[in-house]
Amino acid sequence: MESNYTRSSHFEGIFYPRKKEELKKNIFYLLNKSQIISEISDHSKTKIYGIVVPHASFTFSGLVAAYGYNHLIHKWNKNILIIGTNHQGIGNKISIMSQGIWSNPLGNIEINKEITERIIKEGNKKIFDELIPFKNDHTIEVQLPFIQTIFTNEIKIVPILLLDQSHKNVRNFSNIISKAMINTDNIMVVGTSNLGHYENEFSARMYSVELIDAIKNLDVKHFYKIISKINGSVCGYGAIASVMKIVKSLGATKGILVKHDNNKTIETRSETVISYVSMVFT
C-alpha cells in the first residue's frame, strides 16, 4: 500500500455535514448537548480503555456517539484503534489499512504505520493489508470528526474492518491485537456498531437490555448467545465483542452504559427500530 495514499471522505453531506464550519458546529453542538454520567465521577482521572459507539448518520446516532466521545475529553491518547464492520463483503476476514491518510472536511488524520505493521506481523497472515474494503466504509469515517475535535493534531489512527463476525474469528483477532499492543502506551480502542434492527420497540428494548448487560459484564460468551437468539441483527457485533476482549486484556473490569436510544426519537413513523448505544470501558 502506498504510504502517501489519501483516503478521501465519501459520506460528507450524507452522514454528516459537508462544509467544515458546519461540521465543526454540529460536533460541538452534539458534545455540548451530551452529558457525562455520574457513575464516572471524574472522567478526566478515570482510566478508560475503550468505547463502543454507533455508526449511523449524525442525524440519528450522532448524539448517542457524542455521549461516548465526551468521556474521552481530557484524555491524552496519541493513537486510536478503530474497529469497524466490513459492509461491502469485499476482502478478507480481517482487513487493516497499514498506512496513508484519511481526509475529511476537518482535515487529515494519519495512520500509525508502526502499530499497523506490528499488528500485521503478529497476525501471521490472518490480518490482511488491503485498501479496497476501506474505500466505501462509513463505520470508521463517521468516527473521525469526533476524534479530530477531541484530540490534538498529533493523533493517529489504526483502522481495521471485520468481515467475519464469528466468535472464533473475534477471539483470534482480539488475541492478536492484545499481543501486538503489549507495552503500547497512549492507545484508545473504539468499536463501532449499531445495537440492532428490530421489528418493534418491545423487541428492541428487551434484546438491547440483554446485550447491554452482557457488555457491562465483559461476558463475550453470553453476548454471542444473545446474538444467536436474535439471528445476528446487531450491525457490527464482532466489533463490540472484539473491544470487550481487548479492553479486558488491557485491564478493564466493566463496561458502563452512557447512552441508549433508537431511531424513532427522530424518525417517529419508522416501521423498524434501530437501537444505538454508547458504552465506556473502565
Question: Is residue 197 within 8 Å of 235, Cβ to Cβ?
Answer: yes
- Tell if the pTM clears 0.85, that is, is over it: yes
Give the pLDDT of residue 91: 95
- Spans in the chain with pLDDT lower than 50: none
Q: Would you tell me how many other CB atoms lie within 10 Å of the CB of residue 192?
A: 28
Q: Which amino acid is at 122?
A: E
Give the pLDDT of residue 38: 57
* CA 35/CA 33 separation, integer angstroms: 7
Residue 258 Cα distances to 55, 63, 116, 161, 239, angstroms: 16, 11, 30, 25, 18
Question: Is residue 226 within 8 Å of 214, Cβ to Cβ?
Answer: yes
Query: Residue 69: left if φ>0, alpha if ψ -120 to 50, beta else—which one?
Result: alpha
Residue 34 Cα distances to 57, 69, 105, angstroms: 16, 9, 23
Give the pLDDT of residue 152: 76
pLDDT for 54-78, tens place per residue?
Answer: 999 999 999 999 999 999 998 888 9
CA-atom Rg of the chain in angstroms: 17
Give the pLDDT of residue 118: 96
Give the pLDDT of residue 44: 67
Q: Where are the domains of the chain?
A: 6-269
Q: Which residues contact 177 (CB under 8 A, 6 or more apart)?
A: 81, 119, 242, 246
- Nearest Cα to Cα of residue 11 among 103, 111, 108, 131: 103
Give the pLDDT of residue 167: 98
Q: Hey, what's the cell of 277? A: 448505544
Give the pLDDT of residue 153: 74
Q: What is the CATH number of domain 6-269?
A: 3.40.830.10
Give the pLDDT of residue 37: 66
* CA 1/CA 6 separation, integer angstroms: 11
Q: Is 264 exposed, middle or buried (0-12, 13-18, 19+ CB in 10 A)?
A: middle
CA angle 162, 137, 239 (to 5 degrees): 30
Q: Hey, what's the cell of 89? A: 463483503
* CA 83/CA 73 separation, integer angstroms: 20
pLDDT for 178-196, tens place per residue?
Answer: 999 987 778 999 999 999 8
* CA 20/CA 12 separation, integer angstroms: 10
* CA 242/CA 96 separation, integer angstroms: 15
